[in-house]
Amino acid sequence: MQYKLTVSDIRQGASGGSTVVKYLAELVTFSGDGRVTVRVLNTIPVTATACLLEAACEFVRLGAQDVLREFQLDGELILSDVLIHPVDCHPLRFRSATAAAIRELLVSQ
């Protein structure tokens, strides 16, 4: 199956409590055991910090894997417009936001 989704979790907090997770994704699923690959088409800004982007992608993969494994699916995620905020990008948040978005999508099917 092929799906399009928008993942967005933006939290404004005082004293360093803000987080920004935002990207568009195309998800292709097929029967399997939860293996997931992630590919990024572009980032915002174009000059996003490589280590933050790499960490965010790994947590996107883990979040997708957490859910797809439950549904006995493998998946490929193609991300675009990945917002990597230089201060408020907390890669771990990408895992929970991704898992929530994919779970909601699959449960509604």
- Structural domain that includes position 81: 2-107
| pLDDT tens profile 45-96 | 999 999 999 999 999 999 999 999 999 999 999 999 999 988 888 899 999 9
Distance, in Å, from the CA atom of 49 to the CA atom of 62, rounded to the nearest integer, reads 20
User: Alpha carbon of 5 to those of 2, 23, 47: distances in Å?
Assistant: 10, 9, 24
CATH of the domain at 93: 3.30.230.10
Q: What are phi and psi of 55, to 5 degrees?
A: -65, -45
What's the pLDDT at 67? 98
What's phi and psi for 87, nearest 5 deg? -110, -45
Instruction: Provide the residue type at 47 as one letter.
Output: T
Percent of the chain past pLDDT 90, that is, above it, reads: 83
* Cα–Cα distance, 97 to 100 (Å, whole number): 5
Q: Give the pLDDT of residue 16.
A: 67
* pLDDT at 2 exceeding the cut of 90: yes
What is residue 13's predicted lDDT score, i.e. its pLDDT?
77
Helix axes of 91-107 and 50-70: crossing angle, nearest 10 degrees: 30
Domain count for the chain: 1
DSSP per-residue string spanning 12-38: --STT--EEEEEEEEEEEEESSS-EEE
